[in-house]
Amino acid sequence: MRKIVSQSCRIIENRRLDKTGLYRSLRVTDFKAARTVHPGQFVHIKVAGCMDPFFRRAFSIADYDPDQGELEIIYKVIGKGTGVLGQKTKGEYLDILGPLGSGFSRISKSKTVVIIAGGVGFPPLYFLAKRLVQSGHPARNILFFYGGRNRADLVEMKRTRDLGVELTPCTDDGSYAFSGFVTEAAAARMEKLEGKKTTICTCGPEPMLAVVQETARRMGFSGEMALEAPMPCGIGVCLGCIKPSLESPQKYVRVCHDGPVFELGEVKL
C-alpha cells in the first residue's frame, strides 16, 4: 500500500476566473507526487490552520507539472471551506494530501473522445484533454462539451480551445452559445458517432451524470465518469461518500477510495 503523507505547499497564485471571483484557479508549488498524477484524481486540502472548518476539502486536480512540482485546482466559492480558500494569498502555505483516488483509464488514440463537463466538473476533464493531446491523441478527435447554468459558469474556455479540441459551450438559460442542457448537445453529436470507436468521459452534477449514463446505455457507448461527493476523510475510512452499486443493491462503493472515476453503468445515481 502506498503511504499517504501530507505536504506543505506554497501558494503561487489564487486568481479569479470570472468577474464575481466565485471561480478561482489556485496553483501551488513544492507538490511532489510519489507517482504520476492521473486526470480524475484529487487532492485533500486543509483549508485552515484551526479547527473551523474541521474537515479537509477534496478538489479535483486541474493540472500538474511534475518538473516544477506545480499543482493547480480550479474551484468555486460556495461554502465556508472554499470561502476560506478564496482568501488565501500568494506566499501562504497549504497542507495537501494526494494524489488520491483513481483516474481515467488510458484511451486508444484511434478513438473519438466525447468529454461532457458540467459546472465544476470541468477541471478534471480539462486535465484529461490536455494529457490526451500531450500524449499524441489527435485533438480533432476530442469533442469537449462544457455546460453551465449561464455564461458566468463557463471558465477557461480560451485555454481549452488552445488545446485544439472541438469545444461546444452550452448554457441552460441560452445566454451563450448552445441554448440548452449540455447533455442535449452531446447526445445530438453522439447520434452521428459509432459506439465502438467512441468513449465518453464525464464529470458534473449527479442529475447530469445520470442522463449521460442512460444516454450511453441506450446508444451503446462505453466510458467513465468522475463522481463528485463530500469526502471527509478522502481515504475510504469514514464511509461518508458511499454510493449504491448497480451490480447489487447490497453493494456500495466508496467514491474517494474505489473512485472517484467509475465505469458508466457501475454506480446507481
Give the tens place of pLDDT for each residue, 184-212.
999 999 999 988 899 999 999 999 999 99
What number is the average pLDDT over the span 84-109?
A: 95
What number is the average pLDDT over the span 242-264?
A: 90
CA dihedral for 158, 67, 139, 99, sign (positive or negative): negative
Nearest to 229 by CA among 100, 89, 69: 100
Angstrom distance (rounded) from CA 123 to CA 25: 10
Q: Which residue has the higher pLDDT, 117 or 81?
A: 117
Q: Please, which pLDDT band fits residue 150 given cuts at 50, 70 and 90?
A: very high
Angstrom distance (rounded) from CA 147 to CA 171: 6
Domains of the chain: 6-100 (2.40.30.10), 112-263 (3.40.50.80)
**CA 194 vs CA 21, 77, 198: distances in Å:** 41, 39, 6
Q: Whole-structure pTM over 0.75, yes or no?
A: yes
User: What is the pLDDT of the chain when averaged over all its residues?
Assistant: 92
Asked if the model's pLDDT at residue 46 lies above 60, the reply is yes
Neighbours of 69 (CB within 10 A): 16
pLDDT value at residue 50: 55
